[in-house]
Amino acid sequence: LQAGSGRFELESGRLKSTALEVTFGGAKVKLAGSVVEPHALAGLDLKVAVQGQELAELSKFFGRSIAPVGPYQAQARIGGSFSALNISGLDASAGRAAQNVRVRGQIDDANNRRGVQLALNAKLTDTVAAGRLFGIDLPRLPAAKVSTKFSVLDRNYVFDDVQLVLGRTSVSGRISLLPGEPRPRVNASLSGALVDLSELPFSTDARGGSSPLPAADIDADLKFDRVVLGKGQVLNAVNGNLRLMAGAIELKQFGAAVVGASITLDGTIKDPVALAGIDLKFGASLTRGNGLAALTGMPMDGLPPFTANGKLTDVPDGYAFTNFTVASKAATVTGSGTLISGPKRYKI
């Protein structure tokens, strides 16, 4: 301890403190209140305020080294007992103008993570440094702002009223996380005006390849007005239900559109990275081909308007279509077939 002052009073086993101030690890701590059972650290009713110029200095005092964060402050009322701490009126913040976090709210039982109701706000310009703070390897991402209401319900970590701005991406909604083995489970309902995947790096899997898939089971309802893909192609709308279970994708009424064309998919893709194990029912329509040409890089500008539906599966070096129907003003064609990719051309 670097300094300390204040007043203690012990009366009939009850401990009271008035204007107690202690300095350690660069932090100034103010404490006022009472403890009904000091020997058991129970019957707490304390007001606590902490502030300092560098959170890393305080962390070092408790035996943990972290990267410099900047100034910090916190205040709260602590009740209950040392084995079941009740925290109310919490208001804590740390960081500088460019990178900071603020937490407000209450926790009914901090030891057992019960009754957690917190409002979180964060601003990040250096995600690598932010990841190091929590012992997580985060890639370098665009500058981000996020706000949410966080609670814990039956072992589920729930993020309500999520508002995320990540570079050009803007997303809102609800996310819940259930930790577990072999993979955590995530449920999400997300919407937004723009999702720009071209700004995000791909993770690297154990084989040294590029794998965009998270190590979690996901059930997500999505509704995005515009999606920019990794190579800059643009989808005008993406919406529907997407499930990622044990590395396989299941789609339900999952739709995507470009200028002049749209498609709806239902079914599964067992290996999304290799685009293998495909079993999808589809319905598509086209009014003009320029949007599809921009997406695929193939000369489709001259395609006439049509609608199509059927079932798509994969075969070696290509795809198979069954129960296939294509209808235009001129004709309707039904049947089945395969599309095989060769070294210089396609075989139908």
pLDDT (0 to 100) of residue 39? 85
Q: Which of 274, 196, 198 is nearest to 231 (CA)?
A: 198
Burial class, 83, CB count within 10 angstroms (exposed 0-12 / middle 13-18 / buried 19+)? exposed
Q: What b/e sequence results for 208-220 when a residue is b if at least 16 CB atoms lie within 10 Å of its CB, and e otherwise? A: eeeeeeeeebbbb
Residue segments in the chain with a per-residue pLDDT below the cut of 70 = 134-135, 202-213
With contact defined as beta carbons under 8 Å apart, do 186 and 242 qualify? no
- CA–CA separation, 78 and 112 (whole Å): 15
Q: Mean of the per-residue pLDDT values for the chain?
A: 89
- pTM of the prediction? 0.82
Residues 6+ apart with CB under 8 A from 216: 183, 184, 185, 186, 244
Distance of CA 125 to the CA centre of its chain: 17
pLDDT (0 to 100) of residue 1? 73
- CA–CA separation, 200 and 144 (whole Å): 12
SS3 301: coil
Structure token digits, residue 6: 């204040």
SS3 242: strand
pLDDT (0 to 100) of residue 319? 92
